[in-house]
Structure 1
Amino acid sequence: MTAANPANVTARRSWRVVTAGLFAVAAGLFTSPSNAQLRVDISGVGATQYPIAIADFANNPDSQSLAEVIRADLSRSGQFQLINAAGANLNAESSIVHDDWRNRGADYLAYGSVNQNGGQYSIQYRLVDSVNRSEIDGIAFAGSEKELRRISHQIADRIYEKITGVRGVFSTRIAYVLQTGNTYELQIADADGQNPQVMLRSKQSIISPSWSPDGTRLAYVSFEADKPVVYVQTLATGKREPIANFKGNNSAPAWAPNGNQLAVVLSRDGISQIYTINQDGSGLRRVMRSPLIDTEPAYTPDGESMVFTSDRGGNPQIYQVSVGGNDARRITFNGGYNISPEVSPDGNNLVYVTRRNGAYRVATQDMATGAEQLLTTGPDDQSPSFAPNGMQVLYSSVQGGRSVLAVTSVDGRVRQTLSSLNGKVREPTWGPFTN
């Protein structure tokens, strides 16, 4: 197969990562905040919704409303019905009249207090089950004013887990590429799209960001050297190193679960093939040999195998192979075009992009049974990435002629759109749990 032309490369991520670099200008490194906050629009509700009231926290500083952030987090999940808590006037030591909250329709109530001592804040939070008349969670946090939003996400995570039994992802981060005019920025942000930080700014394309398992580093592909080169960047310091800069194209990095190795795609031998490489750029090893393009590797959670995209069967499909390179087998059979695979954190499901009736849509497939579910409607949905709890999928989408980030629940019932006020948002990837 020959390399795709630039227009198709832009539209279809799988073949973008195997094309030659078409651009050149030096890149600059930044760790500054970005002004391009993302706006969130939500549609749909979950199959089960938990009625909960989130009371305003007593003594809440005017500069930050913890309760508002918690409400927004839970609302975005589509799994909670927010009950009006106006006039509650509760603090962390208040006695709760459970029947009053039941009569309001709230099965659960979260409340608390915020106290300030100089530049430090102490936050006490409580969660009660008004049906069983019991306190089911309570904890104290401490931090500066800048940390209050992070603490709000942590409280929302605790509420989510205590009620649903699944770990919350509101404290996690996402990475994506924002294109504004001829400028590309690799950004990271909170899971709700707030607090974006620019990790790299370039006049040339940036693609394929990939989080390290501990969330401290990003691997990505930059075209600043007149061809695609794989870099690894440490987020805390901004330091970055090229780890794959071989002859030809270097692309599609994916971290191994142990954080010590990556899979990369190289064309050093004339055609794009999958290799493994140590995080410092040593130990290069070819995984297998194929007469046609193999690309987009992604490890399974156990680290023993990879899924990848290949046209070895005549059209792009998804295959699985052991890390030793033995027994590659095709695993997608629905539709004639399936790309961009990723395996869920529990190893049970595959997410990918499929083309149906000319539209690029996000789908999931049961790894055991092969049963498929189409999650989105297209027309151009790309780069799906599981949330670290496996309950949602982040992807890029074209909506109303604009390129945006979107999130869908794994049952397809709830969708969010995180749209940038300026520019095109692409190449999303959801970061891991970090504690």
Structure 2
Amino acid sequence: MIKKMALGAVVVTGISLSGSMPAYAQLRVEVSGVGSTQIPVAIASFANEGLTPQQITNIIKDDLSRSGYFKIIDAGAVVTETTPVNFDDWKKRGAEALVVGSVQSLADGRFDVRYKLLDTIKSSTLSGFAVATSPINTRLTAHKIADDIYEKLIGVRGAFSTRIAYVTKSGSEYRLEVADADGEGVRVALRSNEPIISPAWSADGTKVAYVSFEAKKPVIWVQNLVTGERKVVANYKGSNSAPAWSPDGSRLAIALSRDGLTQIYTIVADGSGLKKLTSSSSIDTEPQFSADGESVYFLSDRSGGPQIYRINANGGEPKRVTFNGSYNITPRISPDGRTLAYISRREGKFQLYALDLVSGQEQRLSDTTKDESPSFSPNGRYIMYATESGRRAALAVVSVDGKVKQRLTVQAGDIREPTWGPFMK
């Protein structure tokens, strides 16, 4: 699990995500497993959706199907938000909810997308909205409709309109790429002939911190994904690694070997205000802020083997968190602060585990054997991680109950280091 990188020439380009970036091969998504309960939802074709660059109905269907918690019933017809609905007919078809809508062209080139979610059991309207969207944002609008359906029917905010970032390696080139949560809309934020590792989203989704080896050593950068501007925030003697944002976006927790053994520090997001959190005779690394920003989880071998600890964000005495197994690394905390995800090596297998911090109950979530880099979805319902598929690096997503699994691969090259972006305002 320790990455050893070769050093060589570097070519780096920061490119805006505003629409001028070249697209790369899309991620292929395979889904297996379903949630413990599936809600049957009929989705009617939106009227005039042929006007838009992408079919809104298909995107909504794909999102809900991928979640594992919906059984999609094809309405087989166009139904608008103003069409009178015979609820008894839909109930006979087994639908507990019905999605309808329409698209109209606006004079300024945008589209007026209207959507309504109907409860067929109670014969009532659950939700709906209208939005004017540009052609380039058609997919985003469809994802937001799917988010609304997910939230109204499941009771948890949907994360279909969020983004993911990851690193791909093709030949000698490394690329930091950003994509929609469904793997579509891939854009390159950074390309280099040197390794890029440990990307981490800022809380507002406008920046990514990462480690680049372009200076012949690991250095921490922060890049603005809107402007493409990038800035070094940690380039101290030795290794600068494992950046993690505080929930309010004001600070980063990082791991530095400036004084010898790697220890945990915090810095202000602009690189100022360096503060040392741990001072041990062991290696302390892989920091991760708690959901409330009051503490920092980290990896340490101070007990004789790698385990996960927690320390107050202002310093103090660390407390051990993981006790099952002799090798637990890469802590990631859920948005609600209740669940700790990590990679554990047991019987020679590196697998994804989740620990309920309230009950102390632990669950293995993956059935692969070379897992790394877990990252929670912003609604806390899924965990994305890197693994191997057919001897190639791939990404996988699993629901926190372990029932729904997805595999994301690219046709050429390896894909690693995933990080799931926050909800966007």
Summarize deviations over 1:214-269 as a string: whole Å, max 9, x none: 11100000000000000000000000000000111100000011211101111100
Distance of 2:299 and 2:22 partners within structure 1: 35
Matched, 1:96 2:85: yes
- Superposed displacement of residue 26, structure 1: 2.0
Q: Kindly indicate whether the alpha-carbon contact (under 8 Å) linking 2:278 and 2:284 is maintained by their aligned counterparts in 1.
A: no
Summarize deviations over 1:406-434 as a string: whole Å, max 9, x none: 10000000001111111101000000112
The amino acid across from 2:93 in the alignment is: R
Distance of 1:378 and 1:337 partners within structure 2: 17
- Superposed displacement of residue 369, structure 1: 2.6
TM-score normalized with structure 2 length: 0.97
Q: Secondary structure at the match of 2:78?
A: coil
In structure 2, the residue matched to 1:217 is: 207
In structure 1, the residue matched to 2:18 is: none
Which of 113, 116, 134 is the aligned partner of 2:124? 134
In structure 1, the residue matched to 2:252 is: 262
- Superposed displacement of residue 30, structure 1: 4.1
Matched, 1:60 2:49: yes
Distance of 1:108 and 1:128 partners within structure 2: 6
In structure 2, the residue matched to 1:38 is: 27
Q: Kindly indicate whether the alpha-carbon contact (under 8 Å) linking 2:257 and 2:263 is maintained by their aligned counterparts in 1.
A: yes
- Superposed displacement of residue 201, structure 1: 0.2
In structure 2, the residue matched to 1:3 is: none
Which of 307, 310, 333 is the aligned partner of 1:317? 307
In structure 2, the residue matched to 1:48 is: 37
Q: Secondary structure at the match of 1:318?
A: strand
In structure 2, the residue matched to 1:359 is: 349
TM-score normalized with structure 1 length: 0.94
Summarize deviations over 1:2-37 as a string: whole Å, max 9, x none: xxxxxxxxxx1xx43xx6x64132232143233210
The amino acid across from 1:99 in the alignment is: D
The amino acid across from 2:33 in the alignment is: G
In structure 1, the residue matched to 2:364 is: 374
Summarize deviations over 1:343-390 as a string: whole Å, max 9, x none: 110010100001111111000001123210000012101101000000
Give runs of aligned pairs for residues 107-118 of structure 1, distance below 5 A: 107-118=96-107
Matched, 1:343 2:333: yes
In structure 2, the residue matched to 1:206 is: 196
The amino acid across from 1:108 in the alignment is: A
Q: Secondary structure at the match of 1:55?
A: strand
Summarize deviations over 1:145-202 as a string: whole Å, max 9, x none: 1111110000000000011110000000000001101110001100001001101000
CA RMSD of aligned residues (A): 1.0
Distance of 1:105 and 1:238 partners within structure 2: 49
Distance of 1:70 and 1:338 partners within structure 2: 38
Summarize deviations over 1:59-103 as a string: whole Å, max 9, x none: 1125321000000000010000001211x2211210111011111
Q: Kindly indicate whether the alpha-carbon contact (under 8 Å) linking 2:329 and 2:342 is maintained by their aligned counterparts in 1.
A: yes
Structure 2: gaps (5+ residues):
16-20
Matched, 1:164 2:154: yes
Q: Kindly indicate whether the alpha-carbon contact (under 8 Å) linking 1:45 and 1:79 is maintained by their aligned counterparts in 2.
A: yes
The amino acid across from 1:371 in the alignment is: Q
Matched, 1:238 2:222: no
Q: Which shows bigger deviation, 62-71 or 288-297?
A: 62-71
The amino acid across from 1:121 in the alignment is: F
Distance of 2:424 and 2:128 partners within structure 1: 22
In structure 2, the residue matched to 1:228 is: 218
The amino acid across from 2:26 in the alignment is: Q
Q: Kindly indicate whether the alpha-carbon contact (under 8 Å) linking 1:208 and 1:253 is maintained by their aligned counterparts in 2.
A: yes
Q: Kindly indicate whether the alpha-carbon contact (under 8 Å) linking 1:217 and 1:232 is maintained by their aligned counterparts in 2.
A: yes
The amino acid across from 2:285 in the alignment is: T
Q: Kindly indicate whether the alpha-carbon contact (under 8 Å) linking 1:24 and 1:225 is maintained by their aligned counterparts in 2.
A: no
Q: Secondary structure at the match of 2:45?
A: coil
Distance of 2:167 and 2:242 partners within structure 1: 15
In structure 1, the residue matched to 2:263 is: 273
Q: Kindly indicate whether the alpha-carbon contact (under 8 Å) linking 2:244 and 2:252 is maintained by their aligned counterparts in 1.
A: yes
Which of 71, 75, 79 is the aligned partner of 1:85? 75
Q: Secondary structure at the match of 1:227?
A: coil
Q: Kindly indicate whether the alpha-carbon contact (under 8 Å) linking 2:327 and 2:345 is maintained by their aligned counterparts in 1.
A: yes
Distance of 2:419 and 2:33 partners within structure 1: 23
Structure 1: gaps (5+ residues):
1-11
The amino acid across from 1:64 in the alignment is: Q
Which of 28, 34, 48 is the aligned partner of 2:12? 28
